[in-house]
Amino acid sequence: MPSVTTLLVFAAATLALLLVPGPAVVYIVTRSVAQGRTAGLVSVAGIHAGSVVHVIAAALGLSALLAASATAFTLVKYLGAAYLVYLGLRKLLSRDHTLTTEVAPASPTRLFSEGFVVNVLNPKTAIFFLAFLPQFTDPATGPVALQVILLGVIWIVLGMASDGTYALISATLATRLRSSRKAARRLDVTSGLVYLGLGATAALTGDSAKP
């Protein structure tokens, strides 16, 4: 299993990523602004129900990859680092700085199911989990699948706390968030730097050092 230090670094990196808005946060904020905090919290639950699917898929996929070839597993880790750098550059160069759009009201069931489907069917989310989670695993310390599941559980718990906070705050500040282009740009820059830092660290350390 990952060391306590690795888990703490992973938790810190996860929080850094969760605190800047990606597609899931945009969906949650949009629903919170349109329908209030309850709608936002239901959306959070749906999003992270979808995260469970991605964590399980990543655990099975990475475990199978390691069983087939340790070299291929290492290659995936490096490709993952490159993908994180790509995400960072895209965020820094992005010109779309809108956090919310107008949406029609929806029932709690629909909010949950939409959040679930939005997350599960987003191939970028699947790729992200495959890129991010392996950076904190080490086949020498135990089964990769169990490590990924543990990391995924930490991600989901922190994600629900972070996204839940977004839902509550955005519902309270609904009027201001409708035209928050400047705030969105600042968050894009912050998230871009976080992605770049994670990608560069993973690429430089490789297998010779733990994150």
Q: Which range marks the domain in which residue 85 is found?
A: 4-205
211 is a domain residue = no
210 is a domain residue = no
Number of domains in the chain: 1
Q: What is the pLDDT of residue 126?
A: 78
DSSP class per residue in 114-169: HHHHHHHT-HHHHHHHHHHGGGG--GGGS-HHHHHHHHHHHHHHHHHHHHHHHHHH
189 is a domain residue = yes
Tens digits of per-residue pLDDT, 113-170? 988 987 887 666 777 787 788 888 888 888 888 999 999 999 999 999 999 998 998 8
63 is a domain residue = yes
Tens digits of per-residue pLDDT, 19-64? 776 667 777 877 887 788 899 899 999 999 999 988 998 888 877 7
Quickly count helices (H) and strands (E) in the chain: 9, 0
180 is a domain residue = yes
71 is a domain residue = yes
